[in-house]
Structure 1
Amino acid sequence: MTFETKSLQVFQEALTQLNASFNYLPKLDQSVDLTAIRPVMLEVAKRMENNYPYHHPMYAGQMLKPPTEIARLAYMLSLWLNPNNHDLDGGKASSAMEKEAVAELAGIFGWTTHLGHLCSGGTMANLEGLWIARNLHPTKKIVASAQAHYAHARISGVLRIPFLSIECDSRARMDINVLQRLLQEEEIGTVVVSMGTTATGSVDPLPQILELQAQYGFRIHADAAYGGYFSLTDNLDPETRAAFDCLNKVDSLVIDPHKHGLQPYGCGCILFKDPSVGRFYKHDSPYTYFSSDELHLGEISLECSRAGASAVALWATQKLLPLIRGGTFASSLSKSREAALALFDKLKSDRRFIVAFRPQLDIVFWAVKSGSASESSRLAREIFKRSNEQNLHLALASMPRKLFAATEGEIINWDQDYVVCLRSALMKPEHLDWVDHIWHSLDAVTTDALSAARATPLQHIHDATLDA
């Protein structure tokens, strides 16, 4: 597989048009030393060869999805100006494009009135969401599930907010009974709801959490950094669909265009249902915000300088691929979900593997059937290593015993409270056409790994584990 390069013809045409728009300015000599640049760029290309093939369907490990062609082109085009979306002086056109693009993101969840902006990623977006929560409930705790992204606990520490982790059920979702007990015992100001956990893609039971909100009056912050775009798909299970259909009722949410939104890294988004929380952002600056009476994005964000290129790329992508159900973008995302279900079915029917539960989004994880949790973990690591050598790139994840409650008899000896699993994020629509190829490679390396394990005396395995 080679990189797509035909679109560079369109880029050159667009750059020529942009350049011509500034012909009214005095001529500026911009000499470029191509002789000096060339060897450095070729060295950059050489260094970049030491990478995983993230763009290829055989990379099915971590949450890495290449930006679409239009995003690459628009981002690159904007760099000839390098706009800064902190204020209109630095990013006049790109600020307007950001507002339009963010409004379209809010529209996914049915919000016509909102406050929101782009930021550097999900971590910063979640920080802003919890910062507002702290301002509204300065003495109350924040809670999230044990499978929520670790950023929430760290952010709470940075903001000096008391944080509690809530146990998960056997499907890696927030345990609603534990939540209710905590609400009775603690002063809870905000519940973080994960709409697609990073380890398993599990979706917290938002409908039931909303029922508790009506009783206890806490805020709901939805971390939809990974899963938010699945609101547009047409092939979710009914229970998962019901959770996504409730997202219009939360107080704030995060969505990451640089995950499923086909954008380069550095593009997250925070959205608030109630625009009045903008009062907490209010500040004065002696040298910005004077070019227009219109709201500057820097007045509703914690970050100062922000890449206008991110807004330009997102705007262009959503112009080409509108965020509508049944559209091209939504259909491609549905293929990722379909690919995950196809791989899950193959794993479930293979006696060498253990699958804990059906995936809710497009993430699949599985354990290797073995006599003990430690041996299963060792075999998973071996398969991971051998797969990488055969250009099938998977991921590893440590999963608690509780997730395998429905398959308790599959691992006879739980000599540790967790098992290391193999995991795939089938984020690319192309994965659907490559499931058979992925399975063929996984089948082959698993056969080799298990054959090697049978040929190795158990005592040797035990000693090697102790040495490690």
Structure 2
Amino acid sequence: MELYEYSQFLPLIEKHLKDLDGWRGQYGPDPTPLPVDLDQMDEVMGQLVDRLKMNFPMHHSRYIGQMIKPPHPIAWASYALAMTVNPNNHSDECGLPTSNMEREIMKEMSKMVGYGDTYLGHLTSGGTIANLEALWVGRELHPGKAIAASKNSHYTHPRMSKLLGLDFIELGLAEDGYLDLDEFRRHADKIGTLVVSMGSTGHGKVEPLDKILPIAREYGVRVHVDAAYGGFFGLISGDLGIRREPWLAVAESDSIVIDPHKHGLQPYGCGSILFKDPSVSKVYDHDSPYTYFMPSDLHLGEITLECSRPGQVSAALWATIQLLPLRRDEGIGDYLKLSRQYALDFCEEIAAQDDRYRIYMEPDLDIVTWMVVPEEKTTSACSAANRQWFQDKMDDPENPIFVSMLKVSGEYFGRRHPDFVVDSDQVEIIRSVFIKPQHANIMGKVFANDTHPQAS
């Protein structure tokens, strides 16, 4: 198919929407006083579409900028169907079918990460809230102790530490770009929870959890894995150069965050948190005077910081993993292999550019950080060349390519690329995210119409 058309799925949506309308009609006529004028709706929706067209082409393979892609058709179609019911997964009374779907999802995800049948977990609105819950639980179990993470970690962690009233310790990086284990040891007695990034959003780095865990256990530090971006890649660890040992070690971590709205093919608004020890439910202990009346071992609202949560989120993810199971050699695993392979192929393209471009840091997953090599090898000249390439390619009428920029430490840049003179505190490099399954369509095209001054 030359162009992926969403309208092809309208007959399926119409069929199953009529089925739901039949269920709704069983309870008799129910006229609403709300105005439903189809002509006015058509006009407003047309205005909406005009506004939506102002987006960057995030749906297209030419867009390799941020961690954005359209959800799978089964996800958005299922979301739309469930949205007409509008269940609330706070309690079984408000959304029993979708609450049970969420329980089934979490069971599958727990198996995927190695926690097995003994765990506590639920969906969230995204990785930020999921990480907050993990850090909050850590604070309650290790009161007064700091939260720590390496410079690879997401910027949410120092913010959440501040919100929780805890000190945040930023740990440095070793020469290999991962957490400096010696520095962790030096601070370990002050740390209550260590955040280990497995799929950092800047470089896609997977920190060596297998080497970190023994040190954490020695000092009694909780280990929280932030795998919001990378979590599903555990399915294909051992393949395509992805180290297996860190992912096997996840089974021994205390908690893990994974965002299905990234590599789980979901619409935004779908994160998740899993705890290895279900007894942490005591931290959530509370009662609701009007929602926990249906029989249930544990209403989902009893183990979440968020109260009302949309059941359509679990409906979409549940339907997706029925169609595309969480397995290495089919379903989600097949899609992840594509993303990883595209990143490796792109690295080969860069290597073939005769030193006009250079990989900044070898990718662990599907995020490639790279840079233009300017004639004057200074960090300030590198930043300027990268900014120019970014703008020129976005404005190219014949071959537009959309990438993103990433700021890195000038000092660390100099350690990785010692042939450059460090004359700036920060360096702006280029970041490309190969998250969409159709990125094969731009392989070999990124450097077409090259405007690099060294290009022949």
Pick the TM interval, shorter chain. Answer: over 0.9
Equivalence for 1:190: 193
Would you say 1:387 and 2:393 are equivalent positions?
yes
The percent of aligned pairs where both chains have the same amino acid is 40
Shift of 1:143: 0.5
RMSD: 1.8
Equivalence for 1:4: 6
Shift of 1:451: 7.1
CA distance in 1, matches of 2:332, 2:82: 23
Shift of 1:240: 2.6
Equivalence for 1:222: 225
8 Å CA contact retained: 1:65, 1:260: no
Shift of 1:449: 4.6
Aligned residue identity for 1:389: D
CA distance in 2, matches of 1:113, 1:329: 24
Equivalence for 2:304: 301
8 Å CA contact retained: 1:236, 1:360: no
* Alignment equivalent of 2:21, drawn from 19, 22, 42: 19
* Alignment equivalent of 1:124, drawn from 129, 139, 149: 129
Q: Larger deviation: 290-299 or 115-124?
A: 290-299
| SS at structure 2 position matched to 1:245 | helix
8 Å CA contact retained: 1:354, 1:407: no
Equivalence for 1:421: 429
Cα deviation code 1:393-451 (max 9, x no counterpart): 10000122424534311x2x2111332111101001211343223x3xx342xx32537
| SS at structure 1 position matched to 2:443 | helix
8 Å CA contact retained: 2:92, 2:296: no
CA distance in 2, matches of 1:48, 1:3: 16
Aligned residue identity for 2:182: N
CA distance in 2, matches of 1:404, 1:348: 20
8 Å CA contact retained: 2:203, 2:361: no
The runs of 5 or more residues in structure 2 that have no matched partner are none
| SS at structure 2 position matched to 1:6 | helix
Equivalence for 1:331: 334
CA distance in 2, matches of 1:9, 1:349: 47
Shift of 1:315: 0.4
Equivalence for 1:153: 158
Shift of 1:386: 1.1
Shift of 1:210: 1.1
Residue 157 to residue 406, structure 1, CA distance change in 2 (3 Å): closer
Aligned residue identity for 1:314: L
Shift of 1:358: 1.8
Q: Which runs of 4+ in 1 moved over 3 A?
A: 234-239
CA distance in 2, matches of 1:80, 1:210: 45
**What does 1:87-236 correspond to in 2, within 5 Å?**
87-111=91-115, 112-183=117-188, 186-233=189-236, 236=239
CA distance in 2, matches of 1:10, 1:206: 44
CA distance in 1, matches of 2:234, 2:241: 12
| SS at structure 2 position matched to 1:118 | strand
Would you say 1:374 and 2:380 are equivalent positions?
yes
| SS at structure 2 position matched to 1:356 | strand
| SS at structure 1 position matched to 2:154 | coil
CA distance in 1, matches of 2:232, 2:245: 15
Equivalence for 1:274: 277
Would you say 1:432 and 2:440 are equivalent positions?
yes
CA distance in 1, matches of 2:332, 2:312: 21
CA distance in 2, matches of 1:33, 1:433: 42
Cα deviation code 1:106-141 (max 9, x no counterpart): 111122211000111000000000000000000211
Equivalence for 1:352: 356
| SS at structure 2 position matched to 1:283 | coil
Q: Larger deviation: 303-312 or 205-214?
A: 205-214
Q: Larger deviation: 390-399 or 274-283?
A: 390-399
| SS at structure 1 position matched to 2:25 | coil
Aligned residues: 444
CA distance in 1, matches of 2:392, 2:241: 37
Shift of 1:29: 2.8
Cα deviation code 1:16-73 (max 9, x no counterpart): 1122223320212357310111111001001111001111111100111210000000
| SS at structure 2 position matched to 1:82 | coil
8 Å CA contact retained: 1:225, 1:255: yes
Cα deviation code 1:365-407 (max 9, x no counterpart): 1122122111110110011011111321100001224245343
Residue 335 to residue 237, structure 1, CA distance change in 2 (3 Å): closer
Residue 170 to residue 354, structure 1, CA distance change in 2 (3 Å): farther
CA distance in 2, matches of 1:83, 1:449: 54
CA distance in 2, matches of 1:79, 1:330: 28
8 Å CA contact retained: 1:379, 1:450: no
Equivalence for 1:457: none
| SS at structure 2 position matched to 1:423 | strand
Would you say 1:362 and 2:343 are equivalent positions?
no
Shift of 1:213: 2.1
TM-score, scaled to structure 1 = 0.91
Equivalence for 1:45: 49
The runs of 5 or more residues in structure 1 that have no matched partner are 455-468
8 Å CA contact retained: 2:76, 2:267: yes
CA distance in 2, matches of 1:106, 1:202: 22
| SS at structure 2 position matched to 1:366 | strand
